[in-house]
Amino acid sequence: MSSRSNGIYPLPADTSTDAAAFSTFINDAFATLFEYSAADCRYSPQPQPHITGMFNQAHDFTVMGTFIEGNVMEKLLEKTIPGAASDSSARDPPPRCHPGTRLAILERCLHFIANCNDNKKIRWVVGSAGVGKSAILQNVAESPKLPVTSQASVFFSINGRNDGSKAILTLSYQLATKSEIYRQVIEYEIARDPSLLQSSLSVHFKKFIVEPFIGNSRLNSAGRILIIIDGLDECHNLRSQQEILRLIFDLCNTYPSSPIVWLIASRPEQHITSFFSRATVTPTYEKEEVAVDSDEARADVERFLRDEMKEIKASWYSLDAQSEWPDEKDLWKLANASGGLFAYAHTAIKYIGDPNIGNPVSQLSDVLNVIDNHPMTGIPRDEHPMALLDALYARILSNVPPKIMVYTRKLLLALASVKSARTRNLLVLCNWLGMTPDEAYAAINHLQSVLRFPKRGKSHEEKLEPYHKSLIDYISDFSRSGFSHDIQHDARQLMTECAFRVLKEAPDGIDFGDTDYKLWHGTVTRGPGTGEKISLSWPVVQEVGWNDDETRLSLYKLAMGVVLAGMRRGDTTFHNEFYIRLLTTRFEAYSDSFPFFALSDLPFDKSRRHEFMTHGLIKQMPLKAIDISTIPSLNAVKLQLHRPASLAATESTDPWNAACDHERKGEWGEGNDQDWLTTFWPNDCAFCFERLKHQLQNYKSRFPDHTLCVLFTSTGSCCIEFTFVHPEDGISEWTYWFWCHVSLEERKRYGSTV
């Protein structure tokens, strides 16, 4: 049908009347055109034959039935992620490192790009949410020292720039705009097979990355190429993230001579961290960890804050340039609260300098109030000083599936308000909360950008903790997070439930052999029970230098700590026989920090005295059994006095010493009955302590069988209630409560079963 001469394809004489002939002509012509193989186009360094004729210099047209586009680049552009490039107007102004900050990290990144070789062509920049990873990569992309001939970038974002299926096409388009050779290669591929634009991620990577840069010698030898992928964890699905990593690894591992260097930034999400932890992957990358709490990060944040505050001061006409604002201590407080988290510092600065709110002085005061945990009521969420940071945390928490949130909530409650629980290793914490390892890691999985946690093999050594305190501040404030109306109450309720479960499973105490039974408040006694029935949701399944008995001992200590804390703050949950008996029978010794009077106030309360005497918690013994010398000087003593007003008119000595500086509560005004209560420490008030000892000795010598009420304990430290009528006036009634040591022999003699 057609003749071929010098590459020219003459048209049939009458195309208007011979449509079939025209179609045959077109197909025949393109069949000849595509005889130039893909291999010729991709790999040959020689220029391709020049085609002349009717299609020479043609543009902007389509022939029906056969694909040919005058502008392949337009079609490719349609398949890219809008605004994902480092220089995109959609990101303008992009996040950048503050001048003079992150210098060491930037230098290390540039050095790696210039000097990496063989298969180690990946640099993984990893850090928690808000540390400034995107700013670091932006600075690298814009660096005048960048030792590359070309670069392309994808800055993923959950805000519309998260389609991983378009990642390679986005990079390809950018490279095509900067390299004529590369553009010709991909235009040919797309023209030959238009369906490539609809192919899978792996096909895109093969056709637009591997084959051009490995198979084409002109591209392979054209110099180093930098590809930046930021926010990989914000790519819309895990499969795309993992596929991108796998493809990059395969390229670096299979083709060590590849000219492409990869700079990848992400949060430490579990699936990404696991990928880079593989032994096969390790040789292909270097890790750059952007820490929140490093000295370098803190210094950079402080510099940022100082410079920005100077800028705010200079831009506000109402602020005197010679003034001392901001006060140095306020600046230090802000810097200390920010730590190394740029997101916190940036949020604070945005609020302080916002001209639409008020003025910098009052706005700085707002931020300082937030730092001091002073509630800011009546302020909409979007106007809160930490609104931008709150939005980040809200977005992260929203990723937790509802069925997993029940476990995540428990972990966050434990971190928010229970010091004794959050200081334990992850293994103990999860057993405490009744979580299996699978439940625990599922709960943590979506929060890896804000929580630091150990791998399973290290769960007995390391603890779960937030990267920055601002996360706990956020969830603790219901007006900001909606997480809990009363997080302290919810956390304490959870801890009480956990403690009760453990103590119920070890009603007769514990005995795990010769080990440390010390708590902050004292030393737990051993036995008579073993504690082996304390259930574990996460038992130790292999030898790791930790065993299940250590877990059970830790759980028992935690439970005792919860009871002691509850007793100290007067929580009525613990105001019953079970908990009082627990604290009086399960200790070998009390420390000075033991809540002595929090324990003794309840059974000696007049409204419940009979109840506790019936249960045998309060016994009676004679005064002669007391060794006055054993009253400790570090334990408080309480004194209650009832004295009628009529005695004031006599020469009877006033029982209150004006030199005493401890507080008294009640009534003692002139002409009124005295009815007051005071608490003193023997080592602080020698007058009151010496008077107590004198009164005890006097009564002991005169009335040795005078009855005392006593709360016996297993430690020998017992609380004594000493009530008497003062012999000087025969009317005023004195009652002391103090702790002293009673020997085991005396305790048994007077009915103690402890």
| Average pLDDT of the segment spanning 131-148 | 95
Q: Based on the domain organization, do 232 and 305 belong to the same domain?
A: no
- 95 sits in which H/E element: none
| Average pLDDT of the segment spanning 215-229 | 91
Contact 738, 719 (CB under 8 A): yes
Q: In 3-state terms, what secondary structure has residue 16?
A: coil
Residue type at 676? W
Q: Does residue 94 form part of some domain?
A: yes
Contact 199, 192 (CB under 8 A): no
Q: Is the pLDDT of residue 5 over 70?
A: no
Q: Does residue 46 form part of some domain?
A: no
CA neighbor of 348 nearest in space, from 377, 393, 312, 324: 312
CA distance 714 to 601: 18
Q: Which residues pair with 264 in a beta bridge?
A: 124, 229
Q: Tell me the pLDDT of the chain averaged across its residues.
A: 85
Q: Based on the domain organization, do 304 and 251 belong to the same domain?
A: no
Question: Buried b vs exposed e over 171-203: b needs ≥16 C-beta within 10 Å?
Answer: bbbbbbbebeebbbbbbbbbbeeeebeebebee
Residue 728, domain extent: 596-749
679: its two tokens: 């608490």
408: its two tokens: 């995540």
211 vs 3, higher pLDDT: 211
Cα–Cα distance list, 581 to 522, 721, 747, 753 (Å): 16, 18, 16, 11
pLDDT at 101 (0 to 100): 94
Q: Does residue 16 form part of some domain?
A: no
Measure the CA angle with vertex 46, ends 43 and 50; round to 5°.
110
CA distance 474 to 223: 48
Q: How many residues does the chain have?
A: 754
Q: Based on the domain organization, do 128 and 274 belong to the same domain?
A: yes
Q: Based on the domain organization, do 270 and 309 belong to the same domain?
A: no
Which of 539, 574, 609 terminates a domain? The answer is 574
| Average pLDDT of the segment spanning 48-69 | 38
Q: Give the pLDDT confidence of 524-567 residue by residue, as tens digits.
A: 999 899 999 999 999 998 778 899 999 999 999 999 999 999 99
* pLDDT band at residue 602 using 50, 70 and 90 as cut-offs: confident
SS (H, E, C) 640-696: EEEECHHHHHCCCCCCCCCCCCCCEEEECCCCCCEEEEEEECCCCCHHHHHHHHHHH
Q: Give the pLDDT confidence of 679-711 residue by residue, as tens digits.
A: 999 989 999 999 999 999 999 999 999 999 999
Which of 290, 311, 342 terminates a domain? The answer is 290
Q: Does residue 535 form part of some domain?
A: yes
Q: Does residue 652 form part of some domain?
A: yes
Q: Based on the domain organization, do 516 and 568 belong to the same domain?
A: yes
* pLDDT band at residue 322 using 50, 70 and 90 as cut-offs: confident
Q: Which residues pair with 718 in a beta bridge?
A: 740
Which of 266, 290, 314 terminates a domain? The answer is 290
Q: Is the pLDDT of residue 398 over 80?
A: yes
Q: Based on the domain organization, do 624 and 536 belong to the same domain?
A: no
246 vs 1, higher pLDDT: 246
Q: Based on the domain organization, do 500 and 620 belong to the same domain?
A: no
Q: Based on the domain organization, do 113 and 255 belong to the same domain?
A: yes
Low-confidence winner among 578-582, 608-612, 718-722 (lowest mean pLDDT)? 608-612
pLDDT at 51 (0 to 100): 35
Q: Give the pLDDT confidence of 353-377 residue by residue, as tens digits.
A: 888 777 889 889 988 988 887 766 6
Q: Based on the domain organization, do 175 and 308 belong to the same domain?
A: no
Q: Is the pLDDT of residue 1 over 70?
A: no
| Average pLDDT of the segment spanning 735-747 | 93
pLDDT at 55 (0 to 100): 33
Q: Does residue 283 form part of some domain?
A: yes
pLDDT at 25 (0 to 100): 38
Q: Based on the domain organization, do 516 and 623 belong to the same domain?
A: no
Q: Does residue 62 form part of some domain?
A: no
Tokens 């096909």 correspond to: 203
Contact 605, 734 (CB under 8 A): no
User: What is the number of structural domains in the chain?
Assistant: 4
Q: Is the pLDDT of residue 671 over 80?
A: no
CA distance 704 to 625: 8
Q: Based on the domain organization, do 151 and 239 belong to the same domain?
A: yes
| Average pLDDT of the segment spanning 448-464 | 88
pLDDT at 421 (0 to 100): 59
pTM: 0.66
Q: What is the rounded radius of gyration, in angstroms, for the C-alpha atoms of the chain? A: 39
SS (H, E, C) 312-364: HHHHCCCCCCCCCCCCHHHHHHHHHHHCCCHHHHHHHHHHHCCCCCCCHHHHH
pLDDT at 592 (0 to 100): 87
Q: Does residue 17 form part of some domain?
A: no
Q: Is the pLDDT of residue 96 over 90?
A: yes
Q: Based on the domain organization, do 550 and 625 belong to the same domain?
A: no
CA distance 649 to 668: 14
Q: Give the pLDDT confidence of 281-307 residue by residue, as tens digits.
A: 999 999 999 988 899 999 999 999 999
Q: Is the pLDDT of residue 138 over 70?
A: yes
pLDDT at 652 (0 to 100): 59
pLDDT above 70 covers a percentage of the chain that reads: 88
Cα–Cα distance list, 548 to 211, 253, 309, 484, 492 (Å): 55, 43, 54, 33, 26
**DSSP states along 438-472:** HHHHHHHHTTTTTEE---GGGTTT---EESSTHHH
CA distance 505 to 498: 11
